[in-house]
Amino acid sequence: MAIIERPADTTTTVAPVEEAAPVTATSSYGYLRRPVESTGWRSWAFTVDHKKIGIMYGVVAMFFFIVGGLEAGLIRLQLAGPEGTVLSADKYNQMFTMHATTMVFLFVMPMAAAFANYFIPLQIGARDVAFPRMNALSFWVFLFGGIFLNTSWFLGGAADGGWFMYAPNSDVPFSPTNGVDFWALGLQITGIASLVGAINLITTVLNMRAPGMSLMKMPIFTWMAFVTQMLLLFAIPVITVALFLLMFQRSYDATFFSVEAGADPLLWQHLFWIFGHPEVYIIVLPSFGIVSEVLPVFSKKPLFGYTFVVFSGAAIGFVGWGVWAHHMFASGLGPVSVAVFSVAPLAIDVIFGGAVLGLFAGMYYWWPKVFGKTLSESWGKWNFWLMIIGMNLTFGPMHIIGLQGQPRRMYQWTENRAGEGFFNLGMWNLVATIGTFVLIVGVALFFINAIWIHRRQPVAPLDPWDARTLEWLTTNPPKPHNFDRTPTVHALDEVFHRKYEDVGEGDSHEYVQRSTLDELVLEEEAQADAHIHLPAPSYWPIVLAFGLPIMAYGVIYTTWLIVLGAAIVVAALFGWALEPADAEDADFDPPAAGGESTSKELANV
């Protein structure tokens, strides 16, 4: 809910409040009254609360994780035995393309966005992100883009060119269905979501920090998420150019990648990997941040070499731009490496081990923060062990399979070329398939843990892990306004230093607990700010986002849909611009009473 009304007497020093002149018109701006619901689906659809948006990001990302996981399951079933018949060659191509696309763009990136959205404002002591409406916009654009991309399954077949969609294989003669069109347009839409999110979160980190929260006092997750957003800011426009050229090639007969027209298909590879290499860090850095957040808490020590870790993360952010060509082994740029066939599955292995496990660590660590209850530890252990065993069973054999010469994208392998003994392809393919299903069971345990077991869990203590960072200095789950009093930060690991006092002398440190987190939170409540300003919900983000896939369908099917979609986007933009930054009394239904005791102010968006 947008407004926080707090009795004026909760604090001794109340700043004088000037009320704006009373407004009688209920729609003196824009076209619609502001949404005000605090319950039901409307409270989610029109929300601008970074915590609700973070949860929605997480739920949708998990949904696409299931979709991508089922696609992986089908791929491995097809390859489990010789001459598999589960999928046709065509469906197999679509499956591996959409599996990778879904996992990268619709699971790992939005899942990282979920954590970043939820925890960056909390970790830096802010009430929300810098641009709450734009935050909602990036979520809805991502969701509609992901749905748009996946409707290709029902409209003639999905993209089938592999997730890096090399030219000229991506051109109409080689991929005549609309799959690649859906892919190119869908990723442009999700790219808009990433770009808007990046601008918003970078501004938030740079500008919305609580007093005393200098850059080098920021929790490490916020740092890594910040570097990730910087990478996105500069990587997304490059892939956007590539996708645009591809769209014009396929939909409007340009020849940017046609060899027969004298084009260099390598242009695609350069543009793609200038984006793609930073993308690898975009995928893993948030997880590095989560792991670096979790380990110190459970080791009961500060993060070793915090400064070094921060600068390493920032260095990755720079160096990641110079090395894209190492993805182009087979392009003729340099010596062709035979090892490429084993490097590729290794890369998936690293991404899965580096990114996915880190994200799950974040789930378990922050679950009580977000939902007020811990997840079951015993189910969690089963979840972890099955995932780690399944992951190694799945990706380990692929190194052998690759060295034995089975290309990644052949939809069948044959018994008579499978080899013998330890290096028999058949055995290792079967092991990899079994591994995948172990992995799927492991992930299923997480869902059971999160949805059913979770209900029986007792309410978690306020500080279940003896945590160190600022997001814990509030209730579980946090109130809509995050902090009762805007915290003033004095140290890295602020919450730890509020709980513990250093009684060591000279260079030796000895920490003695002086207070519990419950006491600290009570203290904050007692000294709550009198007037808390929160952004009000808005219709326009979801409306604007809705126009984009309509335009994209128009590019594929019929031009008037482009016009319709653009009209929705423009109308929403004007509604957005005309919606005042301040919610007025008349915006609320029933109209909120004016007076000295309440304040309803919005962030200036």
Partner 1 sequence: MSDIVADAPEAVEDHAADHGDHGGHGAHGGHHTSLGLSNTKLAMWLFLGSECLLFGGLISTYMLYRNRQGSGPSPDQLWDIPFTSASSFVLLMSSLTMVLAVSAAGRKDDRNTNLWLTVTAVLGGLFVAGQVYEFTTFYREGLGYTDSLFASSFYTLTGFHGVHVSIGIIMLLATVGMVAKNRISGDKAETIEMVGLYWHFVDIVWIIIFTLVYLIPA
* Residues at the contact surface with partner 1, assessed by CB under 8 A: 13, 15-20, 29, 130-131, 195, 198-200, 202-203, 206-216, 233-234, 236-238, 240-242, 244-245, 248, 252-256, 261-264, 267, 271, 486, 488, 529-531, 533, 574, 577-582, 599, 601, 603-605
Residue 401 Cβ, how far from partner 1 at the closest point, in Å? 36
Q: Which is nearer to partner 1, 17 or 348 (CB)?
A: 17
Q: Which is nearer to partner 1, 291 or 530 (CB)?
A: 530
Residue 545 Cβ, how far from partner 1 at the closest point, in Å? 18
Q: In the structure encoding, which two tokens stand for residue 313, read together?
A: 């993360």
- Cβ neighbours for 316, distance < 8 A, ≥ 6 positions apart: 227, 281, 285
Residue 38 Cβ, how far from partner 1 at the closest point, in Å? 22
Residue 199 Cβ, how far from partner 1 at the closest point, in Å? 5
Q: Which is nearer to partner 1, 498 or 531 (CB)?
A: 531
Residue 146 Cβ, how far from partner 1 at the closest point, in Å? 22
Phi, psi dihedrals of residue 501, rounded to the nearest 5°: -110, 140
Q: Which is nearer to partner 1, 112 or 530 (CB)?
A: 530
CA angle 388, 393, 398 (to 5 degrees): 125
Count of residues making up the chain: 605
Q: Which is nearer to partner 1, 125 or 145 (CB)?
A: 125
- Per the DSSP assignment, residues forming a β-bridge with 289 are none
Q: Which is nearer to partner 1, 244 or 511 (CB)?
A: 244
- Cβ neighbours for 561, distance < 8 A, ≥ 6 positions apart: 550, 551, 553, 554
Are the C-beta atoms of residues 132 and 605 closer than 8 Å to each other?
yes
- Per the DSSP assignment, residues forming a β-bridge with 500 are 513
- Cβ neighbours for 508, distance < 8 A, ≥ 6 positions apart: none
Residue 254 Cβ, how far from partner 1 at the closest point, in Å? 4
Residue 184 Cβ, how far from partner 1 at the closest point, in Å? 15
Residue 175 Cβ, how far from partner 1 at the closest point, in Å? 19
Query: What 3-state DSSP class applies to 328?
Result: coil
Query: What 3-state DSSP class applies to 506?
Result: coil
Residue 116 Cβ, how far from partner 1 at the closest point, in Å? 15
Q: In the structure encoding, which two tokens stand for residue 427, read together?
A: 């055995």
For 374-397, letters b (16+ CB in 10 Å) and e give bbbeebbebbbebbeebbbbbbbb
Looking only at the bridges linking them, the beta strands covering 500-502 and 511-513 are: antiparallel
User: What's the distance, CA 371 to chain centroid?
Assistant: 19
Q: Which is nearer to partner 1, 6 or 51 (CB)?
A: 6
CA 558 to CA 505: how far, in whole Å? Answer: 76
Q: Which is nearer to partner 1, 19 or 510 (CB)?
A: 19
601: amino acid identity, one letter: E
Q: Which is nearer to partner 1, 526 or 577 (CB)?
A: 577
Residue 332 Cβ, how far from partner 1 at the closest point, in Å? 17
Q: Which is nearer to partner 1, 559 or 604 (CB)?
A: 604
Residue 578 Cβ, how far from partner 1 at the closest point, in Å? 6
Q: Which is nearer to partner 1, 383 or 599 (CB)?
A: 599
Are the C-beta atoms of residues 584 and 598 closer than 8 Å to each other?
no
259: amino acid identity, one letter: V
CA 67 to CA 224: how far, in whole Å? Answer: 28
Exposed, middle or buried: residue 155 (CB in 10 Å: 0-12, 13-18, 19+)? middle
**What is the CB neighbour count within 10 angstroms for residue 305?**
10
Nearest to 23 by CA among 9, 8, 34: 34
In the chain, what is the straight-line distance between the N-terminal and C-terminal CA atoms, in Å? 17
Nearest to 450 by CA among 15, 58, 1, 46: 58
CA 387 to CA 381: how far, in whole Å? Answer: 10
Residue 132 Cβ, how far from partner 1 at the closest point, in Å? 11
Nearest to 169 by CA among 57, 246, 279: 246
Residue 543 Cβ, how far from partner 1 at the closest point, in Å? 17
Q: In the structure encoding, which two tokens stand for residue 376, read together?
A: 């079951």
Q: Which is nearer to partner 1, 150 or 200 (CB)?
A: 200
CA 604 to CA 90: how far, in whole Å? Answer: 51
Q: Which is nearer to partner 1, 45 or 254 (CB)?
A: 254
Residue 252 Cβ, how far from partner 1 at the closest point, in Å? 7
Q: Which is nearer to partner 1, 15 or 459 (CB)?
A: 15
Alpha helices in 208-265 (DSSP H): 220-251
